[in-house]
Amino acid sequence: MSKKSNFTISERKFFLRIFDILAVVAGIVFAASFENFYYFNLESSQIFTWFLTLIIYLSIFSQIFEMYSLKVADDYFAIFRSIVVTAFLTTALYVFTPYISPELPLNRLQILYLFLAISSPLFLWRIIYIIFVFSPKYFKTILIIGNASEVKRVLNFVKSKATTNQVACCISSEDCEEMVMDCYDLATANIEEILEGKVISEIVVADYDTKKHKQVHTQLIHLFEQGEVIISAKKFKEREAAMMPEMSFNDPFYDVMTFSSNHQNRMYLVFLRIFDIVVSLIGVFFMSLMLPFFIIGNVLGNRGRLFYYQIRVGAKGERFEIIKLRTMVKNAEKNGAEWAKRNDVRVTKFGKFLRLTRLDEVPQFLNILKGEMSLIGPRPERPEFVWDLQNKLPFYAIRHVIKPGLTGWAQVMHPYASSIEDQELKLRYDLYYIKERNLLLDFKIIVKTITTVLFFRGQ
């Protein structure tokens, strides 16, 4: 059976990174061939160090300014904005690290040439990418098998997510042609014949009556033996959305939930604690520098206490007192505890700025220093909310197996939760983090947090 040439999301992002680097290196080499640009001496013995430093800076800023977000990468204006900012900051940082980059030139026009040598080939390459590479013919084509209701769920999921997946056809217990062009009957379908007539990259299997349709199970085993890629609908959704799939709260939690292998990895845990301490010390120092600004802003826009103390639930269900800069009016909860929500009317003028920039969270570095919180983890909730959520979402208590965090996977993926539905969605992100916890995921959370602050996505 023929296989289609396609890229997964991770492969596409890797592809973008590699060609971004090649484009910039080619741009520098091309610019250096002209007499007007002498900042880079290609014959220098330090040329490798210079290029390596440039690539590191470029990679960091490219990640922060979302050049590998598929929504940004496929949009002319968005990618142009990201390239300009990335190239500017890369250039600015690069010229001020002379020990690992060429010496700062006397002719400041060389700095402009460097900026153009970085940004021009990047933008040219990304135009080529949008026109020729970002094409449906390179998308992964999938076949979905299952009961009609389950197949429709997967179809809706694929349509709603920014994935590189196209549904070629489905095999269902009912006709689904209103959602996908080719739909075959689950009772009579010959899966192997269907695959011979189409180019399928992956088979996604949703729930179906295995007793009633034993032949489907037999065919899938045979296809698996032949090397076909077969994945359950739940694992497919988890992989594509980076969150736990919909869960039945009547099922045993251990059927869907496991700990990351790093949960008891002492090296990983010690590294995280050292990292927490170092970052929180920097955060406390930053807070002390910003304190006069906070005090003035509080007097003018808040008019009340500067700091806000509140009991939260931490690791293993233990309570602790969280510290924040106050962002709400006095007596904001005179009618009882309420969830914070987007555009909350109780937020003061200065409080809106603090929330938008996430500066209201800065005092929590003190909680991290004390060991009550970590930099990364599920956000700590108030006891009254926790007890209610544990009754409505039985898996909710699993969040407390690790320390709560200043930021987390749920925070960067779904900032505010003002309903049970939102809380369930955030829970699925938190459980995904607990299940997949690793340094790469931690790094992604930190980068996404920086992006959230820089693009003012705190509201």
Residue 39 domain boundaries: 9-133
Same domain, 303 and 435: yes
Is residue 4 one of the residues assigned to a domain? Answer: no
Backbone angles phi, psi at 30, to 5 degrees: -65, -45
Residue ending a domain, choose from 207, 241, 275: 241
198 falls in which pLDDT band (50, 70, 90)?
A: confident
Same domain, 390 and 300: yes
Same domain, 333 and 212: no
Same domain, 158 and 128: no
Q: What is the mean pLDDT of residues 305-325?
A: 93
91 falls in which pLDDT band (50, 70, 90)?
A: very high
Q: Given a cut of 70, is residue 7 above it in pLDDT?
A: no
Q: Given a cut of 50, is residue 309 above it in pLDDT?
A: yes
Residue ending a domain, choose from 72, 98, 133: 133
Same domain, 174 and 102: no
Question: Per the structure, how many domains does the chain have?
Answer: 3
Same domain, 155 and 292: no
Same domain, 184 and 75: no
Is residue 205 one of the residues assigned to a domain? Answer: yes
Residue ending a domain, choose from 192, 213, 241: 241
Same domain, 79 and 201: no
Average pLDDT, the chain: 86
Query: Which pLDDT does position 293 carry in this prediction?
Result: 93
Same domain, 227 and 296: no
Is residue 300 one of the residues assigned to a domain? Answer: yes
Is residue 445 one of the residues assigned to a domain? Answer: yes
Same domain, 52 and 152: no
Q: Given a cut of 90, is residue 200 above it in pLDDT?
A: no
Is residue 256 one of the residues assigned to a domain? Answer: no
Is residue 162 one of the residues assigned to a domain? Answer: yes
Is residue 459 one of the residues assigned to a domain? Answer: no
Give CA–CA dist 243/122, Å, rounded: 32
Same domain, 129 and 145: no
Predicted TM-score of the model (pTM): 0.78
Give CA–CA dist 86/84, Å, rounded: 6
- pLDDT, tens digit (0-9, with 9 covering 90-100), for 33-47: 887 888 988 888 999
Q: Side chain identity at 357, as an amino acid letter?
A: T
- pLDDT, tens digit (0-9, with 9 covering 90-100), for 250-301: 677 777 777 777 787 889 999 999 999 999 999 999 999 999 999 999 898 8
Is residue 435 one of the residues assigned to a domain? Answer: yes
Alpha carbon of residue 162 to chain centroid:
13
Same domain, 428 and 392: yes
Q: Given a cut of 50, is residue 2 above it in pLDDT?
A: no
**Percent of the chain with pLDDT strictly greater than 70:** 90
